């Protein structure tokens, strides 16, 4: 059985307009055939359904890029260890997936399509399980971390520092998923806001989004001494080790977090590259980290911080959307660029940098491949394992089931969940 990306892509394109119904059918089928699996998922499935198709979309459209695909699936396989996924779950998921594709393709389903999808799923599941097995030799499936600092910088934004019980390896620019005891089985990704340190501490910038389960819990209901669970480090945005070019970092809101980690990384490597950090926020008050950034700027003279405010007309500094102001500031064509923030901001900024003469392979970001594929002509092909933090456009839905009784902050063990 050999991979046939063309057939998989063509047939998937027929299903894409019906993703919502197809995803509901997939989970209905999965739980009908393997009822015990339902208990392993969060009570509200809305976000989960969406995630399944985002992951599937990423896999399908990456079938022609073996390196990117292998990197994505390896991360996904490693990350699924935290749910307690076993090899046999992959067969159940594969069966439900094929049944879903068959149903939604209707007359377009035939033996050739079946073979192409079977080959693709077998290869993908194989990569995920191999990566999970290899990871099990060297890493725990999750880390328990104690909150050692919690600063409420604005009513909505907190900066948290946590100490994992054992070392959690990562590189600057990556993110981890976080689970709080308030919402067992609900994991959300957050970028790590500092470069790796000897004491192993990790910092997160969290904005409580309306209706957000984990973000609200982290900002409003978490204190020093509480514990959270962390998944393994994920994401492909990182400092280009072969470059000594000057650096432009463009941050939208809490997208500052991974860029601060990258800047710290440059500092710790004693590289004397000039860095411009253009940091966008809606209002002056939303520039929640400006004091720290000014301190960093005064310590490292080759760092320049440029705050940009988009929704406060009497702000005395640079005004506008962060993507729009770049052309007014200087020529960036000889810079490496790192971009993080809301998906729309990343798409706008990457596209703007292309028009300003920055080659696509020098523009680094970690937004969802599938989302940017539509809107961003200069996507350099970075893909990650999921959305970073939650976008305001996609708050965590409120629970549809009963509110969990575990209001105390004893960390629950992760519950098994099959592959997304
Ligand atoms: N690795 C990454 O890319 C990371 C991304 N994030 C994401 O960053 C977002 C931060 O949200 P908030 O703090 O609420 O930011 P926000 O929505 O308040 O936006 C902050 C600034 O970003 C710019 N911006 C926003 N939308 C834009 C658009 N469509 N086009 C051009 N510029 C735009 C504007 O300058 C705005 O003032 C979240 O969605 C989070 O998921 C957070 C951490 C890491």
Contacts of 133 (CB under 8 A, 6+ apart): none
Cα separations in angstroms, 384 against 58, 176, 224: 9, 11, 30
Rounded CA separation 50/26 (Å): 12
**Tens digit of each residue's pLDDT (9 = 90 or more) over 55-72:** 898 899 999 888 989 999
Q: What is the DSSP string of 342-399?
A: SHHHHHHHHHHHHHTT--GGGEEE-S-HHHHHHH-TT------SS-SS--TTSPPPPP
Is the distance from CB of 58 to CB of 115 less than 8 angstroms?
A: no
Return the ligand 1 atom nearest residue 344 CA. Answer: 29
Residue 34 CA to ligand 1 centre (angstroms): 39
Structure tokens at 360: 């696509």
The span from the CA of 271 to the CA of 101, in Å, is: 51
Tokens representing 139 are 């890493």
- Quick check: 389 pLDDT over 60? no
**Residue from 210, 288, 345, 371 to probe ligand 1 pocket by mutation (most atoms less than 8 Å from CB):** 345
5-136 folds as Globin-like (1.10.490)
User: Does residue 321 line the site of ligand 1, with CB under 6 A?
Assistant: yes
Residue extents of the structural domains in the chain: 5-136, 143-230, 247-375
Does residue 389 have its Cβ closer than 6 Å to ligand 1? yes
Q: Where are the alpha helices (DSSP H) in 178-255?
A: 213-220
Fold of 247-375: Rossmann fold (3.40.50)
Secondary structure of residue 402 in the 3-state scheme: coil
The number of angstroms, rounded, from the C-alpha of 55 to the middle of its chain's C-alpha atoms is 12
Residue 49: the pLDDT is: 77
Q: For the domain 143-230, what is the CATH superfamily, name and number?
A: Translation factors (2.40.30.10)
Q: What is the number of other CB atoms lying within 10 angstroms of the CB of residue 158?
A: 22
Q: In this structure, are residues 40 and 420 in contact, taking their beta carbons and an 8 Å threshold?
A: no
Please state, for a pLDDT cut of 70, what percent of the chain lies above it. 87
Predicted TM-score of the model (pTM): 0.85
pLDDT in tens, 347-375: 999 999 999 999 999 999 987 444 444 43
Give residue for tokens 């393994």: 232
| pLDDT tens digits for range 90-114 | 999 999 999 999 999 999 999 999 9
What does the pLDDT read at residue 36?
Answer: 81
Q: Where are the alpha helices (DSSP H) in 137-222?
A: 213-220
Closest CA to 141 of 152, 133, 149: 133
Q: What is the pLDDT of residues 226-278, one digit of tens each?
A: 999 999 999 999 999 899 999 999 999 999 999 999 999 999 998 889 999 99
Is residue 353 lining ligand 1, measured as CB closer than 6 Å?
no
Query: How far does residue 9's CA lie from ligand 1's centre (Å)?
Result: 31
* Rounded Cα–Cα distance for residues 359 and 365 (Å): 14
Query: What pLDDT, on a 0 to 100 scale, did the predictor assign at position 270?
Result: 86
Q: What value does the mean pLDDT take over residues 209-231?
A: 96
In angstroms, the CA 192 to CA 258 distance is 6
Q: Please indicate whether residue 390, judged by its CB atom, sits closer than 6 Å to ligand 1.
A: yes
């Amino acid at each position: 059985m050999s991979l046939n990306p063309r057939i998989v892509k063509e047939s998937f394109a027929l299903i894409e307009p019906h993703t919502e119904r197809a995803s509901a059918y997939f989970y209905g089928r999965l739980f009908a055939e393997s009822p015990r699996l339902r208990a392993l998922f969060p009570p509200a499935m809305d976000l989960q359904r969406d995630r399944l198709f985002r992951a599937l979309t990423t896999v399908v459209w990456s079938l022609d890029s073996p390196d990117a695909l292998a990197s994505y699936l390896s991360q996904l396989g490693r990350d699924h260890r935290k749910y307690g996924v076993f090899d046999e779950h992959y067969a159940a998921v594969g069966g439900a997936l094929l049944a879903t594709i068959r149903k939604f393709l209707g007359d377009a389903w035939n033996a050739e399509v079946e073979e192409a999808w079977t080959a693709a799923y077998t290869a993908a599941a194989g990569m995920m399980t191999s990566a999970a097995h290899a990871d099990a030799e060297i890493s725990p499936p999750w880390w328990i971390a104690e909150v050692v600092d919690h600063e409420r910088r604005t009513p909505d934004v907190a900066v948290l520092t946590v100490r994992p019980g054992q070392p959690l390896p990562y590189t600057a620019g990556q993110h981890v998923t976080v689970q709080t005891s308030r919402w067992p089985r609900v994991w959300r990704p957050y970028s790590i806001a500092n470069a790796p340190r000897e004491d192993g501490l990790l910092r997160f910038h969290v904005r409580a989004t309306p209706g957000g389960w984990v973000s609200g819990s982290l900002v409003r209901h978490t204190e020093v001494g509480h514990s959270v669970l962390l998944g393994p480090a994920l994401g492909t945005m990182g400092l280009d080790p072969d470059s000594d070019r000057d650096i432009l970092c463009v941050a939208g809101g809490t997208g500052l977090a991974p860029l601060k980690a990258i800047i710290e990384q440059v500092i710790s490597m004693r590289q004397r590259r000039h860095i411009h950090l253009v940091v966008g926020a809606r209002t002056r008050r939303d520039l929640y980290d400006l004091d720290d950034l000014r301190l960093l700027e005064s310590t490292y003279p080759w760092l320049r911080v440029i705050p940009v405010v988009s929704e406060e007309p009497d702000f005395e500094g640079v005004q506008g959307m962060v993507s729009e102001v770049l052309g007014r500031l200087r020529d960036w064509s000889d810079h490496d660029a790192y971009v993080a923030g809301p998906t729309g901001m990343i798409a706008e900024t990457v596209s703007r940098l292309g028009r300003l003469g920055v080659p696509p392979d020098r523009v680094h970001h970690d937004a969802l491949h599938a989302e940017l594929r539509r809107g961003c002509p200069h996507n350099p092909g970075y893909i990650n394992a999921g959305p970073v933090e939650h976008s305001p456009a996609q708050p965590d839905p409120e629970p549809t089931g009963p509110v969990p009784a575990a209001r105390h902050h004893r960390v629950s063990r992760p519950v098994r969940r099959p592959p997304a």
